[in-house]
A and B are shown apart, each in its own frame.
Chain A
Amino acid sequence: AQSVTQPDIHITVSEGASLELRCNYSYGATPYLFWYVQSPGQGLQLLLKYFSGDTLVQGIKGFEAEFKRSQSSFNLRKPSVHWSDAAEYFCAVGPTSGTYKYIFGTGTRLKVLA
């Protein structure tokens, strides 16, 4: 069955430290991959997406993600975290054909220490 796994429910980092949020997917073909961020009390906002081509994609707010086919992973990274990055982050897979259902991970909540 298709699935998206975010193994870390909570992550705490200090402001200025680097960040990596993990995402693994199970899918028959190369999927469309997304990272969304949800700030407290808000809806989800797209950070970045991968469809094809260069496996390192850049997004908004200084985030990047790397698609690794061999590891079925699409990890999100940021070299230096800001206090405003505290939020919940969702990895998602968009189906490539035949259906309309996105599959979302369960989310990783990021806490940033001053």
Chain B
Amino acid sequence: DVKVTQSSRYLVKRTGEKVFLECVQDMDHENMFWYRQDPGLGLRLIYFSYDVKMKEKGDIPEGYSVSREKKERFSLILESASTNQTSMYLCASSSPGQPGAREQYFGPGTRLTVT
């Protein structure tokens, strides 16, 4: 079974802190994604990575950055956390090829609260 793990299930941070969310997948997937999930808005793509050190901005990249130094690990960074970044963050991965045709495997999510 594909497993996608996220470093924390719940996280509470203060405004202005630098926050790291870690995601690890064990299926040697090329594609990895970071989404933000908010009630009534569904999932919105923050960043996508199709290979080590490669990344593409999604729909809402502002205030976020990412790092992919190893194939299995994709990190989301909030450089200076703000209260409007309080949300559920979901990491996903998929196998190579046309991303649209691939099932995404999701981690359990990190619920981040910024106070």
Which A residues fall within an 8 A CB radius of B? 9, 31-32, 34, 36, 41-46, 49, 51, 90, 93-97, 99-102, 104-107
Does B76 belong to the interface (CB within 8 Å)? no
Given A43-B108, A44-B90, the answer on whether A34 and B43 have CB atoms closer than 8 Å is no
Residues on A with C-beta less than 8 A from B92 are 43-44
Q: Are A106 and B41 in contact (CB under 8 A)?
A: yes
> Pick the contact of B100 from A41, A94, A104 — CB < 8 Å?
A94
Interface residues of chain B, those whose CB is within 8 Å of chain A, are 4, 9, 31, 40-45, 48, 50, 56, 58-59, 90, 92, 98-109
Taking CB atoms, residues of chain B closer than 8 Å to A41 are 9, 108-109
Say whether, besides A42-B109, A44-B90, A90-B43, A34 and B103 are in contact (CB < 8 Å): yes
If A95-B99, A105-B42 touch, whether A100 touches B106 (CB-CB below 8 Å) is: no
Q: Assess whether B108 is in contact with A32, with CB atoms less than 8 Å apart.
A: no
Partner of B106, one of A31, A43, A101: A43
Give the contacting residue for A94; candidates B4, B41, B102, B109; CB below 8 A.
Answer: B102
Residues of B within 8 A of A42 (CB): 108-109
A6 to B101, CA, bound (A): 21
Measured between alpha carbons, how far is A97 from B101 in the docked complex, in Å? 9
The answer to whether A100 and B99 touch across the interface, beta carbons within 8 angstroms, is yes
User: Which A-B residue pairs are the 5 nearest by beta carbons?
Assistant: A94-B100, A43-B106, A100-B99, A95-B100, A106-B42
A101-B45 in contact given A94-B101, A94-B102, A96-B98 (Cβ < 8 Å)? yes
Identify the closest chain A residue to B44 (Cβ): A104
Closest to A109 in B: B39
Q: Are B40 and A43 in contact (CB under 8 A)?
A: no
Interface contact B45-A32, CB-CB below 8 Å: no
> CA–CA, A42 to B9, complex, Å?
10
Known: A44-B106, A100-B50, A101-B58. A94 touches B42 (CB 8 A): no
